[in-house]
Chains A and B, each alone.
Chain A
Amino acid sequence: MPSLVPREELEAVVVRFAGDSGDGMQLIGGRFAQVTALAGNDLATFSDFPAEIRAPAGTTFGVSAYQINFGSRVIKTSGDAPDVLVAMNPAALRVELEGLRDGGLVIVDSGAFTERSLHKAGYESNPLADGGLAKYRTLEIDVSKLTLEAVKDSGLSRKEALRCRNMWTLGLVSWMYGRDRQPTIDWLHEKFAARPELAAANVAALDAGHAFGETAELAEAGHAYTVEPAHLTPGLYRTVTGGEALAWGLVIGAHLAGLKLVFSSYPITPASQVLHTLANLRQYGVVTFQAEDEIAAICASIGASYAGSLGVTSTSGPGLALKAEALGLAVSAELPLVVVDSQRAGPSTGMPTKTEQSDLHQAVFGRSSDSPLVVVSARSPSDCFETAIEAVRIAIKYMTPVIVLSDTYIANAAEPWMIPDVDGLPRFPVKHRTEPAGFHPYLRDAATLARPWAVPGTPGLEHRIGGLEKDFASGDISYDPANHQRMTEARAAKIAGVADDIPPQGVEDGQQHGRLAVVGWGSTYGPISRAVGNLRDEGLDVSHIHIRHIWPLPKNLGDLLGCFEHVLVPEMNTGQLTTLLRSAYLAPVEGLNKVSGQPFRIAEIEAAIRTRLGA
Chain B
Amino acid sequence: MHSVMPVEKLAPQDFASDQEVRWCPGCGDYAILKALLRTLAEIGATKEKTVFISGIGCASRFPYYISSYGFHTIHGRAPAIATGVKLANPDLDVWVVVGDGDGLSIGGNHMLHVLRRNVDMQILLFNNEVYGLTKGQYSPTSRMGTRSPSTPQGSVENPVSAAAFALGSGGRFVARSVDTLRDHLPEVLKRAHAHRGASFVEIFQNCLVYNDGVFADFTAKEVAADAQIHVAHGRPLVFGADRGRGLRLNPGAIELEAVTIGEDGVREADVLVHDETNRTLATMLAAMEPPHLPVALGVLYCDPAPSYERSVMAQIDEATSRLPNGDLNALLRQGHTWRVEA
Contacts and interface: CB of A to CB of B under 8 A. Distances in A.
A301 B80 CA distance: 9
A592 interface: no
Interface in B20-79: 46-49, 51, 53, 56, 63-64, 67-74, 77
A146 B312 CA distance: 50
A65 interface: no
A302 B72 contact: no
Contact of B84 (A239, A304, A422, A455): A304
B110 to A, nearest CB: 6
Interface string B302-342: 00000000001001100110110010110111011111111
A296 B85 contact: no
Interface of B: 17, 19, 46-49, 51, 53, 56, 63-64, 67-74, 77, 80-89, 91-92, 109-110, 112-113, 312, 315-316, 319-320, 322-323, 326, 328-329, 331-333, 335-342
Interface in A219-237: 229, 232-237
A587 interface: no
Given A308-B89, A419-B332, A293 B109 contact: yes
Contacts of A40: 338, 340
Contacts of B88: 260, 262, 287, 303-309, 311
Contact of B319 (A236, A283, A325): A283
Contact of B67 (A264, A285, A462): A462
A477 interface: yes
> Looking at B64, B87, B338, which has the most chain A CB atoms within 10 Å of its CB?
B87
A292 interface: yes
A121 interface: no
A477 B72 CA distance: 11
B84 A302 contact: yes
Given A282-B320, A296-B110, A303-B83, A37 B338 contact: yes
Q: Is the interface of B mostly helix, strand, loop or mixed?
A: mixed
Contacts of B86: 303
* 8 pairs of A and B residues whose beta carbons are closest in the complex: A303-B84, A466-B72, A300-B84, A299-B80, A307-B88, A464-B70, A296-B80, A309-B88
A434 to B, nearest CB: 11
Given A287-B312, A292-B112, A467 B73 contact: yes
Contacts of A103: none
Interface of A: 34, 37-38, 40, 183, 229, 232-239, 248, 251-252, 255, 260, 262, 264, 281-287, 289, 291-293, 295-297, 299-309, 311, 325-326, 328-329, 333, 418-423, 455-468, 476-477
B320 A422 contact: no
Given A282-B320, A465-B70, A264 B84 contact: yes
Contacts of A286: 316
B60 to A, nearest CB: 9
Contacts of A284: 320, 323, 326, 328, 331
19 contacts: A40-B338, A234-B339, A236-B333, A238-B335, A238-B338, A251-B331, A252-B328, A285-B320, A292-B112, A300-B80, A302-B81, A307-B88, A308-B88, A420-B332, A423-B329, A456-B49, A462-B47, A464-B71, A467-B72
A233 B315 CA distance: 40
Given A236-B333, A239-B336, A307 B85 contact: yes
Contacts of B333: 236, 238, 419
Nearest to A458: B48
A456 B328 contact: no
B340 A237 contact: yes
A283 B38 CA distance: 42
B315 A329 contact: no
Nearest to B52: A464
A233 B91 CA distance: 48
Given A284-B323, A307-B89, A456-B85, 13 more contacts: A262-B84, A282-B315, A282-B319, A282-B320, A296-B109, A303-B71, A303-B84, A303-B87, A309-B87, A423-B329, A464-B71, A464-B72, A467-B73
A159 B254 CA distance: 54
Contacts of B82: 303
A468 B73 CA distance: 9
Contact of A295 (B69, B77, B329, B331): B77
Contact of B72 (A285, A325, A420, A465): A465
Given A262-B84, A457-B91, A466-B63, A281 B331 contact: yes
A296 B316 CA distance: 22
A253 B47 CA distance: 32
A238 B73 contact: no
B19 A476 contact: yes
A235 B81 CA distance: 43
B48 A457 contact: yes
Contacts of A466: 63-64, 70-73
Contacts of B113: 291-292, 296
A555 B320 CA distance: 44
A237 B72 contact: no
A300 B83 contact: yes
A455 B92 CA distance: 11
B72 A283 contact: no
B342 A234 contact: yes
Contact of A299 (B49, B81, B312, B328): B81
Contacts of B336: 34, 37-38, 183, 238-239
B41 to A, nearest CB: 15
A234 B109 contact: no
Contact of A422 (B72, B83, B332): B332
A457 B312 CA distance: 20
Nearest to B318: A282
